[in-house]
Chain A
Amino acid sequence: MSRNLILGTLLSSLVLLAAVVSFVWTPYDHAALNIPDKLQPPSTQHWFGTDHFGRDIFSMIMVGARTSIAVALVAVGIGVGFGVPLGLTAAARKGSWLDEVIMRGNDLVFAFPSLVIAILITAVFGAGAVNAIIAIGIFNIPVFARITRGAALSLWEREFILAARVSGKGAARISAEHILPNVANLLIVQGTIQFSLGILAEAGLSYVGLGAQPPTPSWGRMLADAQTMVSFAPHLALIPGLAIIVTVLGLNLLGDGLRDWLDPRIRVARA
């Protein structure tokens, strides 16, 4: 296993662990205000200090990880759920009108700057975690559709597919039984990358006030709230900022590591 993969797995599991543990335990109630104790620097009592309402930042980061992961995960899920079938269909019907419609539709979505459209969607349908998920999810669809189609097209030329066709299997069955398992590696790697982009997008949306609404903690909004207080309470901005960096870095390293690890050519070379 490469160093990237180890470090990436470690960082990502750290964040995942924080999110999972937050369901059963946080040092303090993340939503409990304690205004007399506001703006405390990190200490043994409050490991990451307290914010401007006296809330425990460590607890907020833990629950915030949950928000980030949930939004990014479902958004990637939307991308995979719609994108992969679309990509498989397009590849199976290569050159047909269906292929054209799917791929030109993808181009259309790709052509828009994703965060701007996400802002538009949340502005029209109201700010909130659910709309943020949908907005981010829509832009994951063409990513997965395209990557699936590209990989599937070359597979369709291979002998074992020909053999499957000769044995009488239909296009749908071949796609599901033979093509999909062979593009899974690619999808896992891409999914990890999209996951980290989703976390960034969620942070970006909540930073401008369009993500999860208070009192649900969100790293992006913690950053936005901290803006005017950076000069006298820098930990308010540093900690959520670091949380975002650690998560995105971890997921990117994990994605890189997975790609190397899963790539058959490199595996062969290694062996």
Chain B
Amino acid sequence: MEMQSVRSFASALALGATLLASQAMAKSDITIAMQLEPPHLDPTSAAAQAIDSVVYTNIFEGLTRFMGDGSVVPGLAESWEISGDGTQYTFKLREGVTFHDGTAMDAEDVKFSLDRALTEDSANAQKALFAGIESVEVIDPLTVKVTLAAPNGNFLFNLAWGDAVIVASESIGDIKTNPVGTGAFTFGEWVQGDSITLNRNPEYWGDQPALETATFKFISDPTAAFAAMMAEDIDVFDNFPAPENLPQFEADPRFQVLVGSTEGETILSTNNKQPPFDDIRVRQALAHAIDRQAIIDGAMFGYGTPIGTHFAPHNPAYVDLTGNSAHDPEKAKALLAEAGFADGIETTLHLPPPSYARRGGEIIAAQLAEVGIKAEIINVEWAQWLESVFKGKDFGLTIVSHTEPMDIGIYARPDYYFQYDSLDFQTLMDTLNTTTDPEERSKLLGEAQRLIAADYVNGYLFQLAKLGVAKAGVQGLWENAPTAAIDLTAISWSE
């Protein structure tokens, strides 16, 4: 009793001190807006980017993690050893790491998390990341050995994904509504349809972040986004949905605009199994009918880098193949005629809500019309898109940005929605996955890029830019988006 009142007195003092101190110090709360609300908060069971934006590195951490520049650094694993043949990874975990519910993070949790992703009925959206894992062994509470079926040069990169974060068996039950991780922030409150609040985790194993609380606000309408930003209701807009408004923010000293790159290859996805697109000449005609620069200027107001294959231009292994599919309507017409479609083609163009798709789609439809391809525009919501295009494969053409990092591997999946089935490419990916030598990998990645560009699998448009808008005093924001994340630990307010 005595002890308790002394303690509460002390904590009251401490609280008073922090209150005083915080008045003198910079702001310690922030409101960050994003366009989409996450469907739930479990990054290990859904592909929705919005989940990672909220929880990645903030609530949940993996054995390794991405930094803002795209590099992969140790996360919950302090260090690791790789066996000579490249098939065994022995991870040494950090000591004294606890989950937000107070339970210790140890080798059992790592085994639980990886095994959970591995199981046959696992809901993980990126099962391919874990495909090579043969077994996960607990050596001692702070040591885990992962055995791979074959060497995988990408393994540490794979473990950095939001889909590979470490979760606890104790709290997995309601992870979707009450996520319990090891990160620097704990889950506070979720007001459905409005916002999610995170609070600083005082027990965090690493450096204490500068922010005390962070609120993620969901604003889907571009007009409302502009108004909220201008009224200073929000401090940061993670990826501003209306590129046409950026010059106004740039001209306003209250704001800063951060233009960076994302991992989003924006492509005119083509249903490779649906006639007439099963004919490579028709796909090549599509590619030559498209004027990329007009799409970037018209839909994105100039923000975006043209690409000629499914690969991010800021990656050192990138090969510029835009010349392979240069804008050439005459050639497109000739190719269509050669394929037996001199009278033209009719198809559908499904467009999800983002402006790169809706506006880009109008431009592409006009460009395709010039060579005789009549694409009927069908505007769809994301749920419809996932249902009919992504799962149902019931489409001719669609525009979408593939924002996962280093995702050229999707072309090795013949059942993936654009249904590209090439044995050459699949073999190439198998070789790549077992190659660890960086130079050799780079070469293979180049070959892969050339192969899909030469097969004209999809129309390659541009690399999506990340258009961050923030109040002038916010620092530490990621300029680029190597993965979907809003890393709160790095953010602070200047004095």
Contact = CB atoms under 8 A, between A and B. Distances in A.
A228 interface: yes
A156 B294 CA distance: 67
A36 B323 CA distance: 22
B377 A52 contact: no
A31 B359 contact: no
27 contacts: A31-B369, A33-B294, A33-B366, A35-B294, A35-B297, A35-B363, A36-B297, A38-B298, A53-B298, A53-B362, A53-B366, A54-B298, A126-B378, A127-B379, A213-B376, A213-B377, A213-B378, A213-B379, A214-B362, A214-B377, A215-B362, A227-B222, A228-B222, A229-B244, A231-B245, A231-B248, A232-B244
A209 interface: yes
A117 to B, nearest CB: 19
A52 B297 contact: no
A52 B245 contact: no
Contact of B244 (A32, A36, A52, A214): A52
Nearest to B362: A214
A53 B245 CA distance: 16
Contacts of B362: 33, 53, 214-215
Interface in B340-391: 359, 361-363, 365-367, 369, 376-379
Interface of B: 222-223, 226, 242, 244-245, 247-248, 294, 297-298, 359, 361-363, 365-367, 369, 376-379
Contacts, number: 55
Nearest to A224: B223
Interface string A53-69: 11000000000000000
Interface of A: 31-33, 35-36, 38, 52-54, 126-127, 209, 213-215, 227-229, 231-232
Given A38-B298, A215-B365, A52 B379 contact: no
Given A52-B359, A214-B377, A35 B298 contact: yes
A232 B251 CA distance: 13
Contacts of A209: 379
Contacts of A36: 297
Contacts of B359: 52-53
A90 to B, nearest CB: 41
A124 B247 CA distance: 39
Given A33-B366, A215-B366, A215-B377, A228 B298 contact: no
Contacts of A33: 294, 298, 362-363, 366-367
Nearest to A210: B379
Contacts of A227: 222-223
Contacts of A228: 222-223, 226, 242, 244-245
A232 B248 contact: yes
A232 B298 CA distance: 16
A70 to B, nearest CB: 19
B104 to A, nearest CB: 50
Contacts of A54: 298
A209 B352 CA distance: 12
Nearest to B247: A232
B366 A31 contact: yes
B81 to A, nearest CB: 53
A45 B359 CA distance: 25
Contacts of B294: 33, 35
B365 A214 contact: yes
Contacts of B376: 213
A227 B223 CA distance: 6
A127 B367 CA distance: 23
A169 B377 CA distance: 55
A67 to B, nearest CB: 15
A227 B221 CA distance: 10
A209 B357 CA distance: 14
A214 B378 CA distance: 9
Contacts of B363: 33, 35, 53
A259 B78 CA distance: 85
Nearest to A128: B378
Nearest to B296: A35
A100 to B, nearest CB: 41
Contacts of A53: 298, 359, 362-363, 366
For the complex of A and B, 4 pairs with smallest distance between CB atoms: A228-B242, A35-B298, A227-B223, A228-B222
Which of A38, A52, A228 is most buried by chain B, counting CB atoms within 10 A of its CB?
Answer: A228
A209 B247 CA distance: 27
A53 B378 CA distance: 19
A247 to B, nearest CB: 24
B298 A52 contact: yes
Contacts of A213: 376-379
B14 to A, nearest CB: 47
A231 B223 CA distance: 11
A14 to B, nearest CB: 29
A56 to B, nearest CB: 14
